[in-house]
Amino acid sequence: MSLFLVVAVPFLGALLPGLMYSAGRAACAGVTFTVTLVAFVGLLTNLPAVIAGEVVTVGVDWLPSLGLNVTFMLDGLGFFFASLILGIGLLIITYARYYLSRDDNMGEFFTYLLLFQGAMVGIVLSNNILLLLIFWELTSLSSFLLIGYWKHLPEGRQGARMALAVTGMGGLAMVGGMLILGNIVGSYDLTVILENRDLIQASPLYLPALILILLGCFTKSAQFPFHFWLPHAMAAPTPVSAYLHSATMVKAGIFLMARMWPVLSGTTEWFVIVTTAGLITMVLGAVIALFKHDLKALLAFSTVSHLGLITMLLGTGTAFGAMAAVFHILNHATFKAALFLSAGIIDHEAHTRDIRRLGGLRHLMPITFIIATLAALSMAGIPFLNGFLSKEMMLEEANHTVLFNSPMLVPVLATIGSLFSAAYCFRLIGHVFLGPVRDDYPAKPHDPGFGMWGPPSLLVILVVVIGSAPFLAEPFVKMVTASVLGSTAEVPSNYLKIWHGLVPALYMSIIAVVGGLIVLAIFKPLLKAWDATPRPEAKTIFDAIIAAAVTLARGVTHTLHNGAFTRYAAIFAVTVIGVGYHAWATGTVGPATREMQPVGIVPIAGWLMLAAATIGMVFMHRNRLMSLILIGIVGLMVSIGFVFFSAPDLAMTQITVEVVTIILLLLALNFLPNQTPVESTAFRRMRDIIVAVAGGLATMAISYHYLLRDTVAPTISDFHLANSYKGGGGTNVVNVILVDFRGFDTYGEIIVLGIAALLIYALTETLLSGPVRARLLNRKPDQPRAGDMHPMMMVVLTRVIMPVVLMVGFYIFLRGHNEPGGGFIAGLVVSIGVVMQYMASGFSWASARLRYPYHGIIGAGVLVAGLTGIGSWFVGKPFLTSDFEYVRIPPFQEFELATAAAFDLGVFLAVVGAVMLSLESFSRLARRAHVADSDYPMDIDPSRDEKAEA
Amino acid sequence: MELLVASAIGILTAAGLYLVMRLRTFPVIMGISLLTYAVNVFLFASGRLKVGAPPILTDATNYTDPLPQALVLTAIVISFGMTAVVVMVALGAYLGSDDDHVDDPVDDTTKPEDAA
C-alpha cells in the first residue's frame, strides 16, 4: 500500500467512530480496530522492500516555492516506529473497548485516538521536515484532547493544558531549529539533509539549530528539566497513558533524535547536552518513581527515567550506543505498555491505584499478577527478560563514556539509576501483589475478562521471547540501527546475547539488582526521610511562571488596551506621528518638482469656510445639533473642492452621501442626548490638543511636500486614460475604472455596503426584540414635536418632485459611462428621492407603498453585478471582462450598449437597497406606542374632518 | 493652492483627532467623519491638483489623474455604510445602558477575581 494511504487511513478513519457513535461501543471499537489494522497491513506490505535495504519514498509537490512538499519515506527506523505505533495501537484499542465505562463517549475517544495515531505515523514517515513539523504540532494538539478526555476532572484539564503548553513551546522552538537546518542545507527534504553532515556541523548556525531542535525533542520526550508534564498527563484514561508513554508521544522526541542522529550527533555539543540531560533524567526519574504511591505516577516517572536512559545512549554518539538505544526503545515499549495496562486493570477492578491500599493481589488476580510481574522484572533488568539485555548494553556503553573528563561519572550514575529502577520495580511487585490479602480494598478485585488481559499478555510474551531468544530480534534491531546510523558508521558486529562473560556490565547489573532489593527492605525509613526533605514542586513552579506571564500580559493589555476607545486613538496617533517624525528626521527630502499654483479668491473663500466650520466644530462640539450643521458645511466645502479640482464624479458622490449621512445622524440624534457634558480635565484637554495639533501638522507637512513633487515612478493612470475609450467604450475614465478596469474591487465594495446595511438591520431587530423595545415605545421626546407632522406643502412638493428625481437618477445612470454620473451617484440620488417620501408622508404611508423589500434590492444588485461578471465566462473570458457594441434602432440615434451598464445597474440597485435599508432601520426605532401610525399622508385634511363631524 | 489643500487636510485631521479623543460616542463619530474627509482628500490629492482638467475624454490632451478619483469615490460610499454601522452600535449601546461613554465601565476591565 502506498505510504500516502498508510498516513491518510487513520485520519480518514477518524471520521468513522464519531459517525458510528450511536451504533454502540463494540461497533465504535471495531471500526477503529479495522482502520488501524488496514494501516498496519498497508505498512507491512512495504516490509520486503525495507528488509532489502531500500528506502521507499512517495511524494507530490505541494508548495514547492516554500520547499514544502508532501513526501514520505520508509526506512528501517520509520518502519520500526510505525509498526510500534500501529501494532501497540491495535492492542490499546482492544483494551480501551473494555476499559471505558458506559458513560464515556467512545466515538469521541476513538476519533481522538485515530487523529493522534495518524499524526504519529505522519511524523515517523515524513520525508520533508516542514511536513514533519505539521504532524509534530498535530500530535501536541491531539494528545491535548486525549489527555483531557475526561473533561469533568480538573486534573485532566490542567494536565492537558500543561502538556500542551510544554510540548507546544518545544514545538515552536523546533520550528525555528528546523528552519535553520533547512536554510543551511538549502532543502527541507530529510533525505537531502541527512546527506549533508559536514555542511551542517561546519555551519556557525549548527549550535542554535541543535539547541532549538533538542528543545523540541526534550519537551516532547519529557527530558529534564521538562520532565514534569508527563506525570500530570496521567490524569488521562489508562489506555491513553499506555499508548502515549510506551509507543508514541514521548517516543516522538526520541525518534527525532534518532532520525537526526547522522547529521547532529558526534559533536562535543551534542554529546555534552544530550548525554547530560539523559543521565540526569534517568537518575532523577528513577529516584522519584520509587517514592510515588500512585501506581500510574510510579510508572510515569519510570517512563521519564527510561527515556533518559535512551537519550543518554543516543547522546554518546557511538554506533553501539545507537544500537542499544534502538533495542531499548523496543523493549521499553513492550514492558511499559504491559505495565500500564496492568495498572489500568488494577485500577478498574480494585477501584484504587494507591499502592498503600493494595497488596496481596496475587491470590485475587493471578493472571494480572503474572503479566505485571514479568513486565516489572524485565524493567528491573532480570535475565531472560528483554529489559536485562538492553540494560546490559546500556551499562556496557556507560562504562566507555567519559563525561566532563571523569571516567567514573557516567558508570556510577548509570548504576545508581539502574539500582533505583530495580527498587521501584520490586516495590511494585512486592507492595501490590505480594503480602497478605487485605479486606479493605475499595472494591473486590478479580481478574478481568480476556479483552483486558489479552493485550498485555501478548506484550509479555514478546518480553519473554526476546529476552530468552535475543537472536530472533537481532536482524530487526540491526536493520533499524543501520538506518539510524545512515552512512556515518557501520552497524556494530556485536551479537545480542544473554551471556557476555564476566564483564563490568554484569557486575554493575548485579549491584543494581541487589541494591534494589536492599533499598526495598529499608523502604519505610527511606520514605520518611524522603517525605521530610523539601523539594521544589515542578507544578508549583510551572503555575507560578504561567501566573507571572498572565499578570504581565494583563498589565500590558490593561495599559494599552483598557477598553477606552479614546486611549487606542491617542496611542495610535502618537505612534504614527512618532514613526513619521523618525522617518522625516532620518530621511532626506528631494527638491520640489512642481510649481505652486496661483490662488484665486474663490478657493480662499472656500478654504476659510471649511476651516471656520471645522474649528467651530471643535469649539461647539458639545452642542450636538450645531456640530451636525457645521459638519454639513465641511462636507459641502469638500464637494466644492472636488468640483474645483476636476473631480465632478467625486463632487456628486460627496454631496449626495452628505445628505443621507446628515439624515442618518439626525435620526440617531433623536435618541441621543443633545449636549455633551464637560468631563475631561483641563490637563487632559490640553494633552489631547497637543496630540491633535501634532497630528494635523504632520499630515499637513506630508501632504504639502508630496503635492509639490511628482511621483518617483510613472503611475498606471496613463494606461487607464489611454484605454478607457478603446477598451472600455466610455469617455468618463473614473466610471470606466469603477465598472470595468477595477470592476472586481467595485463588486467587493457593493457587497461590503450590503453587509453593512444588513448588519444595521440585524442590530435594529435585536434592539427591538429586547428590553429596549418597551423603553423606545414609551419614550417621551425631549423636544416638543411639530403639531403638523406631515405638512401639506412638503407632501405635495415631494410627490410632485418624485418623478423628476427618478428621471434625473435615470439620466445620471445612463450618462455615467461617458459623462459624470454612474450607478453609485444615481443610486444615491434615487435614495434621497425615496427618503423624502418617508419624511414628508410618514413611515407607514411610505412602507405600505414599498413593493420590494430593501434586502431583496441589495441581493438583486449583487446578483445582477455577479451574473454580468459570470456572463463573460460563457465566451471564454475571465470574470467581469466587459464588452460593448454600438447599435442603432431607428428612429433613435446610434447609442452604445455595454455589459458594463448591466454591472453598473447592479451597483445602482445595491446602493439604493443599502442606503434605504440603513435609514429605514433607524426610523423604525423612532415609532412610538401612543402615536398611532396614520394611514393618511397628511394629518390635517379638511375633507376628512368634515366627514367626521357629519 | 497646494498649501491651502495641505492645510485643509491638516485642520481636518487635527479637529478629527481631537474629537475622536472625547469621551462620548457622538463627538467620536463626528471626529471619525472629519478624519474620513481628511483621508479622502489626502488620497484624492495623491493624484496631484489640476484645475479644469476632468478625466472625461474629449479632444483635449491634459487630464487629471482618474485613478485616485475612482478609489475615493467608492471610499466615500463605503464610509457612509461604516458611519451608519458605528452610529447604530453607539445607539444600541446607549439605549441598552443609558450611557454613551466610549470607555468601558471600570468593572468590565478589571479581573473577575478583583471585582469579587
Could you read off the pLDDT of A265-317 as tens digits, one per residue? 878 888 888 888 888 998 888 888 888 888 888 888 888 898 988 998 888 88
Nearest in space to A79 (alpha carbons), one of A59, A58, A49: A49
Instruction: Out of B15, B46, B51, name the one closest to residue A644 (CB).
Output: B51
Q: CB contact, 8 Å: B43 with chain A?
A: no
Query: Closest-CA residue in chain A for B59?
Result: A731
Interface test with A, best of B13, B58, B85, B100 (most A CBs within 10 A): B13
**A563, B104: Cβ pair inside 8 Å?**
yes
Which residue did the predictor score with more confidence, A711 or A123? Answer: A123
pLDDT of the residue at A722:
86
DSSP string covering B2-18 = HHHHHHHHHHHHHHHHH
Q: Do B95 and A775 touch (CB under 8 A)?
A: yes
**How confident is the model at residue A608, as a pLDDT?**
94
Question: DSSP characters for A1-52?
Answer: --HHHHHHHHHHHTHHHHHGGGG-HHHHHHHHHHHHHHHHHHHHTTHHHHHT
pLDDT band at A858 (very low <50, low <70, confident <90, very high): very high
**A735 close to B73: Cβ distance less than 8 angstroms:** no
Long-range contacts of A688-694 (CB under 8 A, 24+ apart): A688/A570, A688/B17, A688/B18, A688/B21, A689/B18, A691/A570, A691/A573, A691/A574, A691/A577, A691/B17, A691/B21, A692/A573, A692/B13, A692/B14, A692/B15, A692/B16, A692/B17, A692/B18, A692/B21, A693/B14, A694/A577
Counted across chains A and B, CB pairs separated by less than 8 A come out at: 317
- Predicted pLDDT at A613: 94
Question: Cβ of A872 under 8 Å from any chain B Cβ?
Answer: no
Which H or E run includes A298?
A: helix A295-316
Closest-approach residue (CA) in chain A for B43: A703
Residue B110 resides in a domain: no
Residues 6+ apart with CB under 8 A from A130: A66, A67, A68, A178, A182, A188
Quote the crossing angle between the two packed helices A319-350 and A249-259, to the nearest 10°: 180
| Nearest CB to B11 within list A558, A614, A701 | A614
Nearest CA in chain A to B75: A749
pLDDT one-digit tens code per residue, A714-727: 888 888 888 888 87
B62 assigned to some structural domain: yes
Q: Select the residue from A703, A723, A731, A918 to test the B interface by mutation, using most B Cβ atoms within 10 A.
A: A703
pLDDT at B112 over 80: no
Instruction: Select the more confidently predicted residue: A784 or A320.
Output: A320
Confidence category of residue A482, pLDDT binned at 50, 70, 90: confident
How much is the pLDDT for A929? 53
Q: How confident is the model at residue A731 (pLDDT cuts 50, 70, 90)?
A: confident
CA A178 vs CA A129, A194, A269, A355: distances in Å: 7, 13, 17, 43
Candidate from B65, B95, B108 with C-beta closest to A563: B108
Return d(Cα A945, Cα B7) in angstroms, integer. Answer: 60
pLDDT in tens, A413-451: 888 888 888 888 888 888 888 877 777 777 777 777 777
DSSP A354: B
Residues A877-904, mean pLDDT to the nearest whole number:
80
Query: Three-class SS of residue A68?
Result: strand
Q: Say whether pLDDT at B24 is over 70.
A: yes
Closest residue on chain B to A618 (Cα): B15
Provide the 10 A C-beta neighbour count for residue A588.
5
pLDDT digits (tens, 9 = 90+) for A139-182: 889 888 888 888 888 888 888 888 888 888 888 999 999 999 88
Contact A566 B45 (CB under 8 A): no
DSSP annotation string for A752-820? HHHHHHHHHHHHHHHHHTSTHHHHHHTPPPSSPPPS-SS-HHHHHHHHHHHHHHHHHHHHHHHHTTTSS
How far is residue A67's CA from residue A130's CA, in Å, rounded to a whole number? 8
Show Cβ contacts of residue B72 under 8 Å, excluding neighbours closer than 6 positions: A647, A650, B40, B43, B44
Contact A597 B14 (CB under 8 A): no
Q: Are A114 and A14 in contact, with CB atoms under 8 Å apart? A: yes
Q: To the nearest 10°, the Cα dihedral for A905, A910, A911, A915?
A: 150
**Quick check: A939 and A788 in contact, CB under 8 A?**
yes
Selected residues 723-742 of chain A with any CB under 8 Å from a CB in chain B? 724-725, 731-734, 737-738, 742
Judging contacts by C-beta atoms under 8 Å, the chain B residues touching residue A680 are: 22-23
Residues from chain A contacting residue B55 (CB–CB below 8 Å): 646, 721, 732-734
Find chain B residues with C-beta within 8 A of A828's C-beta: 77
Q: What is the complex's ipTM, to 2 decimals?
A: 0.92
Q: Nearest CA to CA, how far is B98 from chain A (Å)? A: 9
Q: How confident is the model at residue A936 (pLDDT cuts 50, 70, 90)?
A: low
Would the pLDDT of A760 be above 80?
A: yes
Which pLDDT belongs to residue B111? Answer: 47
Rounded Cα–Cα distance for residues A95 and A456 (Å): 9
For the residues A127-133, what does the mean pLDDT come to?
A: 88
- SS3 for A99-162 is HCCCCCCHHHHHHHHHHHHHHHHHHHHECEHHHHHHHHHHHHHHHHHHHCCCCCCHHHHHHHHH
Q: How confident is the model at residue A949 (pLDDT cuts 50, 70, 90)?
A: low
Closest CB from B2, B41, B55 relative to A597: B2
Tell me, yes or no, whether B111 lies in a domain.
Answer: no
B64 is a domain residue: yes
Chain B residue with minimum CA distance to A679: B23
Mean residue pLDDT across chain A: 85
pLDDT at B116 over 50: no
| Mean residue pLDDT across chain B | 85
Show residues of chain B in contact with A604, CB under 8 Å: 4
**Cα(A101)–Cα(A258) distance, rounded to whole angstroms?**
38
CA distance B59 to chain A (A): 11
Alpha helix segments (H runs only) across A620-681: 624-644, 648-669
Let me know if residue B103 belongs to a domain.
no
**Total number of domains in chain B:** 1
Interface of A with B in 880-939 (CB under 8 A): 911, 914-915, 918, 921-922, 925
Above 50 in pLDDT, residue A871?
Answer: yes
Closest CB to B102 among A558, A565, A599 = A565
Rounded Cα distance between A459 and A386, Å, is: 11
Sign of CA dihedral A925, A754, A827, B32: positive
- What is the grid cell recorded at A716? 498606471
Enumerate the residues of chain A whose CB falls inside 8 A of the CB of residue B96.
767, 770-772
Residues of A in contact with B86 (CB under 8 A): none
Distance between B58 CA and the closest CA of chain A, angstroms: 8
User: A826 touching B, CB under 8 A?
Assistant: no
Which residues, other chains included, contact A214 with Cβ-Cβ below 8 Å and sequence gap of 6+?
Answer: A177, A257, A273, A274, A277
Q: H helices within A842-898, ranges in order?
A: 843-848, 854-871
Long-range contacts of A798-805 (CB under 8 A, 24+ apart): A798/A836, A798/A837, A798/A839, A798/A840, A798/A841, A799/A837, A799/A840, A799/A841, A801/A833, A801/A836, A802/A833, A802/A836, A802/A837, A805/A829, A805/A830, A805/A832, A805/A833, A805/A836
The SS3 of residue A686 is helix
**Segment among A256-265, A373-382, A492-501, A842-851 with least mean pLDDT:** A492-501
pLDDT digits (tens, 9 = 90+) for A28-86: 888 888 888 988 998 888 888 888 878 888 888 887 777 778 888 888 888 888 988 98
Q: Is residue B112 included in any domain, yes or no?
A: no
Residue ranges making up the domain that contains B47: 2-97
Of A615, A703, A737, the CB nearest to B6: A703
Q: Which amino acid is at A551?
A: T
The answer to whether A596 contacts B11, with C-beta atoms less than 8 Å apart, is no
More confident position, A326 or A886: A326
**Cβ separation of B88 and A737 shorter than 8 Å?**
no
Q: How confident is the model at residue A244 (pLDDT cuts 50, 70, 90)?
A: confident
DSSP B79-107: HHHHHHHHHHHHHHHHHHHS--BSSPPHH
Shortest alpha-carbon distance between residue B32 and chain A (Å)? 10
Question: Do B14 and A648 make contact, defined as CB atoms within 8 angstroms?
Answer: no
Within an 8 Å CB–CB cutoff, is residue B51 touching chain A? yes
Helix (H) or strand (E) holding A240: helix A238-246
Q: What is the pLDDT of residue A944?
A: 59
Strands A68-74 and A895-898, how do they pair? Answer: unpaired
pLDDT at position A204 over 90: no
Residues 68-107 on B with a CB inside 8 Å of A are: 69-70, 72-74, 76-85, 87-92, 94-96, 100, 102-104
* Alpha-helical runs (H) found in A351-449: 361-364, 366-380, 386-399, 409-428
Query: Which among B25, B39, B56 is the top mutation candidate for probing chain A, defined by the most A β-carbons within 10 Å of its own β-carbon?
Result: B56
Tell me the pLDDT tens digit for each residue of A320-336. Answer: 888 888 888 888 888 88
Interface touch B81/A642, C-beta < 8 Å = no
Does residue B77 form part of some domain? Answer: yes
Higher pLDDT, A612 or A900: A612
C-alpha A10/C-alpha A20 separation (Å) is 15
Instruction: Say which of A599, A715, A745 has its CB closest to residue B65.
Output: A715
pLDDT-wise least confident of A220-224, A447-451, B64-68, B109-113: B109-113
**Cα A656–chain centre separation:** 44
Q: Per-residue pLDDT tens for A504-530? A: 777 888 888 888 888 777 878 877 877
- Residue A937 pLDDT level (bands cut at 50, 70, 90): low
Higher per-residue confidence, A24 vs A706: A706
Average of pLDDT values for A765-785? 78
CA–CA gap between residue A671 and residue B91 (Å, rounded): 8
Q: Is residue B78 part of a domain?
A: yes
Contacts of A731 in chain B (CB under 8 A): 56-58
- How many Å apart are CA A167 and CA A146, to the nearest integer? 14
Q: Is the pTM of this model over 0.80?
A: no
**Predicted pLDDT of residue B114:** 44
Q: Is the peptide bond before A225 cis (omega within 30 degrees of 0)?
A: yes
Residue A17 has pLDDT above 70, yes or no: yes
Q: Report the amino acid identity of residue A350.
A: A
Residue A898 and residue A884 in contact, taking contact as beta carbons nearer than 8 Å: yes
Closest CA of chain A from B116, distance in Å: 17
Query: Torsions phi, psi of A531, nearest 5?
Result: -65, -30
In this predicted structure, which of A246-260, A349-363, A821-835 has the lowest mean pLDDT? A349-363
Is the CB of A404 inside 8 Å of chain B's CB atoms?
no
Helix axes A648-669, B66-97, angle to 10 degrees: 0
Compute the average pLDDT of residues A884-890.
Answer: 78
B108 contact residues in A (CB cutoff 8 A): 563
Q: For A257-292, give the DSSP string.
A: HHHTHHHHTTSHHHHHHHHHHHHHHHHHHHHHHHT-
In whole angstroms, give the CA distance from residue A714 to residue A208: 46
C-alpha distances in Å from residue A500, one per residue of A478, A481, A916: 18, 21, 93
pLDDT above 90 for A761: yes
- CB burial of A137-167 (b: ≥16 within 10 Å; e: otherwise) equals bbbbbbbbbbbbbbeeeeebbbbbbbbbbbb
Q: Do A900 and A736 form a contact (C-beta atoms < 8 A)?
A: yes
